[in-house]
């Protein structure tokens, strides 16, 4: 076992940067509302700073927030401005009194909690005078030589950098330190503190399973139940094992468990079944039951907490189907299965940073993405629309999502309609929000430390509206085209998979009705083929009842009757875009595989002139 860390890595980073003289004012952001595990205790961030990190180096420590005013966690005898600071209620007076403490003392630390409320982001023209004054005051502090000479320190605590005034964040005299989500060692410590009874193997298992949760959340989930609850649960399980075989064993066990509180197990067994053998040996071990219950609780609470933490901006996906219900696209499935195997086996160098699914609507991009997520067995998150009309909120939403994604690790991120989610850098009416969002996403997607841990699956039918730099190798390494079925055989493969997916009862061999069914659906989307099959199923139910089997006549009639709504020119354009973006000719149908880039470009230009602005 390695020796425990004295301080978390971010705290060591803060200390080193201060000792190097990099800055005397720092912004702490990120996971600032979590508990810090230190010396077998869980402390709030402020308590950790005042009682551990700054305890031996600061003679005076003042803490200020708008709600409670100024308080002194530690004070040097004779420090000037103490009474004035404590009595100051309004923000300008409180900051002025703290400035006098900083200038007049040495080895002073000032901690400003909820700094985004003290110096908020926003257009100065619309801010209150007190907010503008606070921004100017903090700017001045970063340049005051008296603060440096007195070996003084100012710490601003804000969860989200985008909510703090950019004048402070971008100030070269202000250091920025991120407080990350708990790493494996921190989670391990939190698990041990939550339940000291756990065995080492359980500690390791829970430390892995709780990736993405805060230490305080881990402690609340794994805290042991009161002894009375454990006793009642074990007694109920014991009685149920005695009554096993009866139809109402569970209900009777609940009632008898209440009535037998004062009895021992031997007394309960003699009362209920005097001649029965002791069922203790066959009953499920209490520790194993607790372990299973904790596993279920962690999975449920983790999903609830992370969805709430992201304000509904992400959705956890639990795919219902794998590749067994995906028809056709054999080369695509082979490639994706290989990626899934490499992820499971930890061969990160063979895992792409991201994959782009592109093609017309209805070709199964989302369905295949979710099936792939099931095959690789990773946590799957679907990114919702994180854009907001409020200034700075979009960037804040994105940072929150990326922080959660990085903390979870081993995750597939599905982004549907990527062209709408990301926008593009040509947007001029949003104050530069699109440019900043895309720049941040590019930075995150190209971080090679995420390879094999975080895989982006981006889907779009208009890749031409995605930023070009977003699609380069190193961000979206693989571009997979999804096209409509090109041959009757492909239609039949899709139809067989859809029959399995929708549990349609039929004994028809689709190859035997190729002329009346498959050939008529060439060039149709997978969604269209599914609609035809469902029409045939409904037709069979109307004619012969709900359990009726679908016959060849039903399928042929549905194929002839189906009339899709389609813009042929737009669909051709989307199909050519998918072909043009493909990263491998091997994935293309024969009619496109032999085309040169120049030929594709000529056809694309001709269609773009006609349908380029349609959606």
Rounded-to-integer distance, Cα 384 and Cα 397, Å = 11
Predicted confidence band of residue 283 (pLDDT cuts 50, 70, 90): very low
Strand 354-358 relative to strand 314-317, pairing: unpaired
Q: Is 460 helix (H, G, I), strand (E, B) or coil?
A: strand
* Same-domain pairing of 238 and 353: no
pLDDT at 327: 77
Range of the domain at 359: 310-481
2 inside domain = no
What residues contact 122, with CB distance under 8 A and at least 6 apart? 131, 165, 391, 392
Rounded-to-integer distance, Cα 396 and Cα 515, Å = 56
pLDDT at 40: 87
What residues contact 66, with CB distance under 8 A and at least 6 apart? 91, 114, 117, 118
Please determine, for residue 81, whether its predicted confidence score (pLDDT) is greater than 80: no
Identify the residue with better confidence: 72 or 270: 72
Place of tokens 């969604």: 527
Rounded-to-integer distance, Cα 579 and Cα 592, Å = 7
Nearest-5° Cα angle at 604, 574 to 424: 65
389 inside domain = yes
Q: How far apart are the first and last CA of the chain?
A: 59
Please determine, for residue 262, whether its predicted confidence score (pLDDT) is greater than 60: yes
Please determine, for residue 435, whether its predicted confidence score (pLDDT) is greater than 80: no
282 inside domain = no
320 inside domain = yes
Neighbours of 14 (CB within 10 A): 22
* Same-domain pairing of 147 and 17: yes
* Same-domain pairing of 561 and 531: yes
Dihedral through CA 57, CA 62, CA 66, CA 69, nearest 10?
160
Q: How many domains does the chain have?
A: 5
* Same-domain pairing of 608 and 535: yes
* Same-domain pairing of 294 and 387: no
* Same-domain pairing of 215 and 317: no
* Same-domain pairing of 494 and 468: no
Q: What is the percent of the chain with per-residue pLDDT over 90, rounded to a whole number? A: 29
430 inside domain = yes
Rounded-to-integer distance, Cα 84 and Cα 90, Å = 12
* Same-domain pairing of 292 and 352: no
Yes or no: say if 529 and 485 are a contact pair by the CB < 8 Å rule: yes
Range picked from 80-94, 181-195, 227-241, 428-442 for highest mean pLDDT:
181-195
pLDDT at 246: 66
Rounded-to-integer distance, Cα 42 and Cα 247, Å = 48
**Which segment of 115-129, 342-356, 399-413 scores lowest on mean pLDDT?**
399-413
Last residue of a domain, one of 434, 460, 481: 481
572 inside domain = yes
For the residues of 513-542, what is the DSSP string, one character each?
GTTTTGGGGTT--HHHHHHHHHHHHHHHHH
* Arithmetic mean of pLDDT, 2-7: 63
Please determine, for residue 426, whether its predicted confidence score (pLDDT) is greater than 60: no
Please determine, for residue 385, whether its predicted confidence score (pLDDT) is greater than 60: yes
Q: What is the CATH classification number for the domain harbouring 409?
A: 3.40.50.300
Rounded-to-integer distance, Cα 570 and Cα 523, Å = 14
* Same-domain pairing of 507 and 597: yes
* Same-domain pairing of 434 and 563: no
Rounded-to-integer distance, Cα 476 and Cα 443, Å = 12
pLDDT at 227: 46
pLDDT at 143: 92
pLDDT at 112: 97
Predicted confidence band of residue 282 (pLDDT cuts 50, 70, 90): very low
283 inside domain = no
Structure tokens at 526: 């997978």
Please determine, for residue 398, whether its predicted confidence score (pLDDT) is greater than 60: yes
Rounded-to-integer distance, Cα 130 and Cα 132, Å = 6
Please determine, for residue 167, whether its predicted confidence score (pLDDT) is greater than 90: yes
In sequence order, the β-bridge partners of residue 607 are: none
* Same-domain pairing of 431 and 497: no
Last residue of a domain, one of 464, 481, 498: 481
pLDDT at 525: 85
In sequence order, the β-bridge partners of residue 153 are: 109
472-531 pLDDT, tens per residue? 888 888 999 988 888 899 899 889 888 988 889 898 999 999 999 999 998 888 888 999
Rounded-to-integer distance, Cα 78 and Cα 81, Å = 9
* Arithmetic mean of pLDDT, 592-604: 82
> What DSSP state is assigned to residue 505?
-
1 inside domain = no
**Which segment of 274-288, 380-394, 435-449, 482-496 scores lowest on mean pLDDT?**
274-288
Rounded-to-integer distance, Cα 32 and Cα 161, Å = 12
* Same-domain pairing of 389 and 423: yes
Last residue of a domain, one of 481, 516, 548: 481
């Amino acid at each position: 076992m390695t020796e425990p860390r004295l301080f978390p890595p971010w705290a060591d980073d803060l200390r080193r940067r201060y000792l190097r003289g990099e800055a005397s004012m720092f912004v702490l952001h990120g996971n600032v509302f979590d508990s810090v595990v230190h010396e077998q205790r869980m402390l709030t961030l402020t308590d950790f700073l005042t009682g551990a990190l700054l305890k031996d180096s600061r003679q005076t420590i003042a803490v200020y927030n708008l709600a409670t005013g100024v308080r002194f966690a530690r004070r040097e005898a004779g420090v000037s401005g103490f009474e004035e600071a404590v009595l100051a209620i309004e923000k300008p007076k409180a900051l002025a009194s703290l400035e006098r403490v900083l200038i007049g003392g040495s080895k002073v630390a000032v901690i400003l909690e909820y700094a985004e409320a003290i110096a908020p982001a926003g257009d100065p023209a619309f801010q209150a005078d007190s907010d503008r004054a606070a921004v100017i005051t903090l700017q001045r502090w970063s340049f005051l030589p008296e603060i440096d000479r007195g070996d003084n320190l100012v710490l601003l605590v804000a969860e989200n950098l985008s909510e703090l005034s950019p004048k402070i964040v971008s100030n070269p005299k202000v250091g920025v330190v991120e407080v990350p989500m708990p790493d494996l060692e921190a989670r391990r410590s939190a698990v041990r503190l939550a339940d000291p009874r756990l065995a080492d193997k359980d500690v390791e298992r829970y430390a892995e399973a709780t990736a993405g949760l805060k230490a305080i959340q881990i402690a609340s989930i794994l805290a042991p139940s009161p002894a009375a609850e454990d006793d009642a649960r074990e007694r109920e399980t014991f009685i149920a094992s005695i009554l096993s075989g009866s139809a109402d064993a569970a209900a009777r066990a609940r009632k008898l468990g209440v009535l037998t509180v004062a009895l021992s197990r031997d007394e309960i067994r003699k009362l209920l079944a005097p001649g029965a053998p002791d069922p203790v040996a066959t009953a499920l071990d209490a520790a194993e039951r607790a372990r299973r219950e904790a596993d279920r609780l962690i999975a449920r609470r983790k999903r609830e907490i992370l969805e709430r933490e992201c304000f509904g901006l992400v959705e956890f996906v639990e795919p219902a189907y794998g590749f067994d219900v995906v028809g056709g696209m054999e080369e695509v499935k082979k490639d994706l299965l290989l990626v899934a195997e490499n992820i499971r086996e930890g061969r990160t160098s063979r895992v792409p940073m991201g994959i782009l699914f592109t093609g017309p609507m209805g070709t199964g991009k989302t369905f295949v993405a979710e099936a792939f997520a099931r095959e690789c067995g990773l946590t799957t998150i679907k990114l919702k629309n994180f854009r907001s009309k409020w200034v700075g909120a979009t960037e804040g939403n994105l940072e929150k999502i990326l922080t959660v994604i990085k903390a979870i690790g081993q995750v597939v991120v599905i982004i549907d309609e990527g062209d709408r989610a990301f926008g593009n850098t040509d947007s001029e009416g949003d104050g530069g929000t699109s440019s900043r969002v895309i720049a941040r996403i590019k930075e995150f997607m190209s971080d090679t430390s995420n390879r094999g841990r975080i895989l982006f699956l981006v889907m779009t039918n208009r890749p031409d509206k995605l930023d070009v730099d977003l699609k380069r190798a190193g961000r979206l390494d693989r571009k997979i085209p999804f096209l409509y079925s090109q041959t009757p055989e492909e239609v039949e493969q899709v139809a067989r998979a859809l029959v399995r997916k929708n549990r349609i009862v039929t004994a028809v061999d689709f190859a035997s009705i190729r002329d009346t069914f498959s050939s008529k659906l060439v060039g149709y989307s997978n969604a269209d083929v599914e609609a035809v099959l469902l029409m045939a199923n409904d037709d069979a139910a109307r004619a012969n009842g709900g359990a009726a089997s679908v016959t060849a006549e039903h399928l042929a009639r549905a194929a002839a009757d189906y009339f899709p709504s389609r813009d042929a020119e737009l669909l051709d354009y989307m199909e050519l875009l998918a072909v043009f973006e493909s990263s491998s000719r091997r994935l293309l149908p024969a009619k496109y595989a032999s085309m040169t880039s120049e030929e594709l470009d000529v056809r694309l230009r001709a269609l773009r002139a006609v349908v380029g602005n349609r959606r």
